Amino acid sequence: MTESVRNPRERYRAQVRDEVKRHAWEQIATAGVTALSLNAIAKEMGMSGPALYRYFAGRDELITALIRDAYRSLADTVRAAHAAGTTAVALAAVIREWALSDPQRYLLIYGTPVPGYHAPDDITAISDEILAVLLEVCAGESEEPPKTPFDVLLSMNRGWAGALAASSPTVHRALSFWTRLQGVLSLELAGHLTPMGIDPGLLLAEEVAEL
């Protein structure tokens, strides 16, 4: 629903939810997602705990909103880069830039799972959009015939495990792209590459180019 057709109550609710999420990101950056507290956020906003629970039913609903926003942002970024005709190496650089622009956002969706939290199915659907782009990019840069939209959709519905069962070179290449990308990003964000004098951007480009 667009801002122009929302009534004042809906606009106010959206504004409060956005403010809650901003405070949540600040908490996560300071103490980690496991320390996330709606009561603490309510205090920072000058609200009572029960009042804040009218906007988020609990911690898990707030975490879901944060994860959904993060995945949506990354999926949109990846799709825009692909639409612009980017190469696999350039796409890896785009994803790295996205991760470095807000490390906490990246770590929330690709870091250590939150204990006791289970994401709803629609989160997986958004992440599958990223998989679909990787499959198309990898197919476009290989000698294997490009996948049709139906093939991509089938692979998305099967997930990585089901897609790998088809033993498609494109799928294996996309999986290698993803694991190498995540490996370099995880090491970089954890600070392990700096003492070694390694340029993470160059390392990532070389890893993807090898594929």
> Could you tell me the residue ranges of all domains in the chain?
1-57, 60-209
pLDDT of residue 157: 52
pLDDT in tens, 128-152: 889 889 888 988 876 555 455 445 5
**Contact present, 78 and 177 (Cβ < 8 Å):** no
CATH superfamily label, 60-209:
Tetracycline Repressor, domain 2 (1.10.357.10)
CA-based Rg of the chain, rounded to a whole angstrom? 20
pLDDT in tens, 24-56: 999 999 999 999 999 999 999 999 989 999 999
Residue 31 identity (one-letter amino acid) = A
1-57 folds as: Arc Repressor Mutant, subunit A (1.10.10)
- Which residues make Cβ contacts (< 8 Å) with residue 62, sequence separation at least 6? 20, 21, 24, 36, 38, 56
pLDDT tier at 1, thresholds 50, 70, 90:
very low
Nearest to 112 by CA among 48, 11, 189, 200: 189
Average pLDDT over residues 86-105: 96
Q: pTM to 2 decimals?
A: 0.84
d(CA 125, CA 95): 19
